[in-house]
Chain A
Amino acid sequence: MTPNVPYEYTNRDLFEKSETYEYTELEGSAFLDAYLADRADAIEALDERLTGTEQRSMNGWEGLLGALSWADPDPVQDNLPVLADLPRLSDSDGIPNVDADRVATVPLLAGLLGVPNGVPPDGEVSAVWLNRLVERFEVHKRLYAAYGTEMRPVDDEPAARIAYPMLALAALVGHDRNGSLKLLNGALKICDALSSTDANAMDAGVAALSRIALDEERSAVRALAAEKEMPL
């Protein structure tokens, strides 16, 4: 069914021209339908992009994390553990100290997603870094390859595109664990940017991780709507 209002937040490449989200209109349940249709279309396009690419064996978060260059996301998706069932790891290897004077974005995100331990850590230091990265995206709608003191970009080098679905996933894990609306809000904006991008222009790793991020984001929105007893 075609929604009777457009989902206007992915109708251009947001990596080219970002969205401010100021004074957005209220359009009722039709808007929520339009959002779901947008994500369904994006996931379908990503699936088409990934058709025929090499499949790799991936299990759980460890597999997901080793998969920054994987192909078909379905094995990962099918084998993702339920977050609530995961053991709680405190901050661990791969997470820099909060006052580190330089961090590289993609390795930091890998640490937040659980490399090398296979489980995303949920200690206070991890929460600080996740919040900082989400805030950087919220303010600039861009991520940089590395950040220095006070989270200033070390230089103008942009982060690799894989950083965006990684941050969306890390934010969704955080939202799942503590219900943070701030993290869900950031993930929604990142997923708009992913959905706005031509799937055929993505490399396989970015496409696969984007597909998982979009699916997880849609699940998180549905879960929140159900928790608030709203039809979706």
Chain B
Amino acid sequence: MLPGVAMLTAPSSRSRIYLDLLERRGLLPELVLLLEDPSVETAEQRRRAAESVPSGTVLPEDPELNARRTVRQRVEDLGIDHRTLDTLNPNDRVVVEAVAEIDQEFLIYSGPGGIILEGDLLKAGPRFLHVHAGELPDYRGSTTIYYSLLAEGACGATAFLMNENIDEGPIVARESYPPPKNPETIDLYYDPWICARLLCKVLSLYRDEGDLPETPQRPNEGETYYILHPIVKHLAVSHIS
């Protein structure tokens, strides 16, 4: 386990893929906070349930990827210290209290998407380390992987420390990635996989150096995008096919 690092998860592909790569690279967090609410089916879960799952590799770029093992299964099998919080709202009081109790320096944020984190949570204790599937500050906001594919024919990811403004916290690291070999994998696999790769790079740096670099962003730079329209999605995918 990597000292000084905890992780907040949701029942999502992103959390599964993060833990898979972190396990393979020997960078697992000391503590995991699992956000769960069996009474709620997220949009991603509906999408995953509707997917015709291939029996073999889900991501051509990484044949070893195991994205089917749930977060809970992996955490329990590996004996990672964990707490279950019965909510999918990261701003819920029980989450704020649980975060305030942990003593790790960094909390990898892999909670439910599309929710703006409130100050009470962000100031509760550890610093929130997040990886966004877009190069900041040019691609802030939602579904930016498609916007950058359409505009530039490439993808990117940025690790940064969260503040109360969307994708505006200080940048830790940034990388470009090639388009996916199979565009059908973007939402559930390729997007979280490139983020997981950058996360591993950042955590390796933290393990070796004991600290992370920070470069402030200028809020007036860049662009904030909103969830993309399916026509833009199709044009982006056609562009790389």
- Please give the residue numbers on chain A whose beta carbons come within 8 Å of chain B beta carbons, in ascending order: 9, 20-29, 31-32, 35, 135, 138-139, 180-182, 184-186, 188-189, 192, 221, 224-225, 228, 230
Contact = CB atoms under 8 A, between A and B. Distances in A.
B237 interface: yes
Interface in B203-230: 223-230
Interface of B: 43-44, 46-47, 147, 150-151, 183-184, 187, 223-235, 237-239
A185 B230 contact: no
Given A23-B47, A182-B147, 9 more contacts: A22-B43, A22-B227, A26-B234, A27-B234, A186-B226, A221-B235, A224-B235, A225-B238, A228-B150
B235 A230 contact: yes
- Residue among A180, A181, A186 with the most chain B CB within 10 A? A181
Contact of B231 (A22, A25, A182, A221): A221
Contact of B228 (A27, A185, A230): A185
A24 B226 contact: no
Give the secondary structure class of B's interface: helix
Shortest 6 CB-CB contacts between residues of A and residues of B: A138-B226, A23-B47, A22-B43, A188-B229, A24-B230, A230-B238
Given A26-B237, A181-B147, A185-B225, A21 B230 contact: yes
Given A35-B231, A224-B235, A139 B226 contact: yes
B226 A228 contact: no
Contacts of A28: 234
Given A20-B227, A138-B226, A182-B225, A26 B233 contact: yes
Given A26-B183, A26-B184, A225-B235, A21 B227 contact: yes
Nearest to B188: A23
Contacts of B228: 21, 185
B230 A31 contact: yes
Nearest to B146: A181
A184 B228 CA distance: 10
A192 B230 CA distance: 11
B47 A188 contact: no
A35 B235 CA distance: 12
B190 to A, nearest CB: 13
Nearest to A137: B226
Contacts of B150: 181, 228
B225 A228 contact: no
Contacts of B43: 20, 22-23
A230 B187 CA distance: 22
